[in-house]
Amino acid sequence: MRKPQFIARQGRQPSGLFGSLVGRIMSKETAAANDIAIALLNVLSGDRVLDVGTGHGAALATLATLNDPGSLDGLDFSSTALKIAQKKNRSLLRSGRLHLHEGMSDDMPYADQSFDKILTMHTIYFWEDAAAHFKEIFRVLVPGGRFVIGFRPGDDTRAASIFPNNVYAFRTIADVKQLLEKAGFRIAETERRDDRKSILSWIAAERPSST
């Protein structure tokens, strides 16, 4: 059954009380997919890690338990989502290891080459000009740094039949790879999981050391 518009819009940008509820439910629904993205990220001790479109911030909480990252950052353009992320990560914020920022992923409030590892999960559907977002992610990643993107690909026709197409745009794995390469990334790994309900895909890409 197709998801109603008002729920789909909350997925794109949670807002208000209902958005807060959607954000909390989402943190459970997307946990396994975020775990795979995090595993592909290969976080090393001291790495500066950014989660783009962090939403509820559950991935940041998981990242904090792994390999002792040097710093964690979460970016989202929804103040409702960031409030959930703040609550969930209170002690990390207090410790100064985590920073949360409200902002757009195609115009991020970070200096060039600020991060060693960047992930984004379930966000590309909402990026009309995905190339501009990839260009910005490339800018804030260090040469030799790794970027992992996780998404439901357009290769799965079920996705397009469930989510309203004026809110969600599904791109094929081949299209996303091509956009990443155009932005200057080198594709390092691709992961795909199919089950009876959906296909999920992750691409790990690297900013070449010489750029």
Ligand X SMILES: C[S@@+](CC[C@H](N)C(=O)[O-])C[C@H]1O[C@@H](n2cnc3c(N)ncnc32)[C@H](O)[C@@H]1O
Positions touching ligand X (CB under 6 A) are: 11-14, 26, 30, 34, 53-55, 75-78, 81, 104-105, 121-123, 126-127
Least distance (Å) between residue 166 CB and ligand X:
15
Nearer to ligand X, 34 or 114 (CB): 34
Least distance (Å) between residue 187 CB and ligand X:
21
Least distance (Å) between residue 89 CB and ligand X:
14
Least distance (Å) between residue 191 CB and ligand X:
15
Least distance (Å) between residue 192 CB and ligand X:
17
Q: How far is CA 94 from CA 77, 91, 97, in A?
A: 22, 5, 8
Nearer to ligand X, 76 or 116 (CB): 76
Nearer to ligand X, 158 or 186 (CB): 158
Three-state DSSP at 56 gives coil
Nearer to ligand X, 78 or 114 (CB): 78
Least distance (Å) between residue 209 CB and ligand X:
28
Nearer to ligand X, 33 or 93 (CB): 33
Tokens of 5: 């518009």
Tokens of 21: 């509820």
d(CA 135, CA 198): 29
Q: Which helix (H) or strand (E) holds 25?
A: helix 16-29
Tokens of 70: 């040097």
Residue-wise burial string across 66-78, b where 16 or more C-beta atoms lie within 10 A, e elsewhere: eeebebbbbbbbb
Q: How far is CA 120 from CA 17, 69, 94, 139, in A?
A: 24, 17, 24, 15
Nearer to ligand X, 77 or 206 (CB): 77
Q: Which residues contact 175 (CB under 8 A, 6 or more apart)?
A: 154
